[in-house]
Amino acid sequence: MKIRKKYKLIAALLILLVLVLSAFDVRLKIVRYKIESDKIDSPVRIALVTDLHSCKYGENQKTLIDAVNKEKPDIILLGGDIFDDIIPDTNTKIFLKAVAPKYPCYYVTGNHEYWSRHSDEMIAWLRANNIYVLDGESVDVEIGNQKISLSGINDPDKERFTGRSGDFYSELDEIQREKDDNLFRILLAHRPSYIENYLKYDFDLVLCGHAHGGQWRIPFILNGVFAPDEGWLPKYAGGKYDFPNGQMIVSRGLARESTRVPRIFNRPELVIVDVVGK
């Protein structure tokens, strides 16, 4: 009996150890989604990068850069908070300088770009490094034989921290006036909590970040415990969400050492979206 109890105790301790290691695992993972549309004739692969917060991914960002290159995306969409308001910009700039010459890159601001109070300098640097900053506008993007409509809006904190008038509702209105319903329409926006507003504007796909996966997750039970804007038990912490008139994908982001509390059962992720014909 004593030997049996001893083995049970060892087994319990091993299980506990595995759970603890899994809970605090912050290795990068790849998360894939497939979106089907009758507006698509030639497939498009998107790498969605959000909430890097200038965090480190190996020497010279090799882990993250290699992960992107391995996926061979047609386009990289940068969904805000790629810079941080506290951590120096070094890691972010290393990553962007590596990928921008190889892939078309499009950027929208997050709240931390504005919190830094250096958003103008950040945006100027992005543009100087061949990264297109979507400033409340739409652009038609040709990828091989496929043309898509890509829209992007500034984070709602823009006016609060820059003092410039206008808000993202007026940006959405302007985008709507330019729309082409024959094209597959993507909206790149930092915050998923505004999805009810986004859905009014006929986008086929909305891509967001910001929520950090709800920071803590309980596998198979809770998708997230707490997220900015949404608070406790967030509805849109991360994953794919289907609506009658569109879809939204929320990345759990790449923040690691910059988070105020540790990620638990919530590994940082690079999101790959394959948009294909129906």
Instruction: Tell whether 32 is covered by a domain.
Output: yes
Specify if 59 maps to a domain: yes
| Amino acid at site 246 | G
Q: Give, to the nearest 10 degrees, the angle between helix 62-71 and helix 90-99.
A: 30
Over residues 199-245, the pLDDT tens digits come to: 999 999 999 999 888 787 777 777 878 777 788 889 999 999 999 99
Position 141 in a domain: yes
Q: Is residue 20 part of a domain?
A: no
**CA angle in degrees (0–180, nearest 5) for 257-258-260:** 105
Token digits for 105? Answer: 């890159």
Any domain includes 106: yes
6 has a pLDDT exceeding 90? no
Which ranges of the chain would DSSP assign to H, the alpha helix? 2-23, 62-71, 90-99, 111-115, 119-128, 157-162, 168-177, 195-198
Query: Tokens 């940068």 label which residue?
Result: 78
Number of domains in the chain: 1
Identify whether 158 is part of a domain: yes
Tokens of 271: 């999101």
pLDDT tens across 246-268, in order?
999 999 999 987 666 788 878 99
Q: Which domain holds residue 45?
A: 27-277
Q: Is residue 12 part of a domain?
A: no
What is the C-alpha to C-alpha distance for residues 49 and 107, in angstroms, rounded to an integer?
A: 10
* 17 found inside a domain: no
The pTM score is 0.91
| Of 217 and 269, the one with more pLDDT | 269
Task: Please state, in angstroms and as integers, the Cα–Cα distance from residue 87 to each residue in 46, 84, 114, 248, 259, following that order.
Answer: 27, 6, 14, 29, 11
Domain with residue 169: its CATH number is: 3.60.21.10
Task: Please check whether residue 69 is in contact with residue 270, taking contact to mean a CB–CB distance below 8 angstroms.
Answer: no
Q: Does residue 21 have a pLDDT over 50?
A: no
